[in-house]
Amino acid sequence: MSSSIDVKIQHVTPADANIFSELGFSGEEAEQLFLDAEREVEQLIALKQQLMQEIAVWIDEHKLKQADAALKLNISRPRVSDVVNHKTNKFTLDALVMMLVRLGKPVTLQIG
């Protein structure tokens, strides 16, 4: 008995589309969900940038080369470059927090 599996792409969501509309939410609800998601992403990026800035300042204050900073942070030299150049999409919050902890700069969270 032979069965075939449909492997054809049924639908492609355009990059600029509201994914919530594509998932079937009503227009108003889809727009609100989209705006909420955008706001959350902006907040996450701002937090990552702040942590990356702290790391970059520490490296600069200690006049370290990226290779030396990489050893201290326990990451590769190219990853140090990504931090210094604020490539937020390449790091999670917890990875950045752990880097700061390795530098002796514990991170605290303040809400509000």
Cβ contacts of 54-63, under 8 Å, gap ≥ 24: 54/100, 54/105, 55/83, 55/84, 55/96, 55/99, 55/100, 55/103, 56/83, 56/84, 56/86, 58/103, 58/105, 59/84
What's the CA gap between 64 and 71, in Å, rounded?
10
Whether 3 has a pLDDT exceeding 80, the answer reads no
Structural domain includes residue 6: no
What's the CA gap between 48 and 92, in Å, rounded?
8
Give the dihedral sign, CA 41/43/48/53: positive
Structural domain includes residue 1: no
Q: How does pLDDT run across 74-89, given as a tens digit for each residue?
A: 999 999 999 999 999 9
Q: How does pLDDT run across 45-85, given as a tens digit for each residue?
A: 999 999 999 999 999 999 999 999 999 999 999 999 999 99
Give the count of alpha carbons within 13 A of 14, CB side only.
4
Whether 10 has a pLDDT exceeding 90, the answer reads no
For the whole model, what pTM was predicted? 0.80
Whether 38 has a pLDDT exceeding 90, the answer reads yes
- Range(s) of the domain holding residue 98: 19-102
Whether 22 has a pLDDT exceeding 70, the answer reads yes
Structural domain includes residue 77: yes
The total of structural domains in the chain comes to 1
pLDDT at residue 2, as a whole number: 66
Structural domain includes residue 95: yes
Structural domain includes residue 29: yes
pLDDT at residue 1, as a whole number: 57
Structural domain includes residue 12: no
- 65: CATH: 1.10.260.40
Structural domain includes residue 46: yes
Structural domain includes residue 2: no
Residues whose CB is less than 8 angstroms from the CB of residue 21 and which lie 6 or more positions away in sequence, other chains included: 27, 30
Q: How does pLDDT run across 84-111, given as a tens digit for each residue?
A: 999 999 999 999 999 999 999 989 988 8
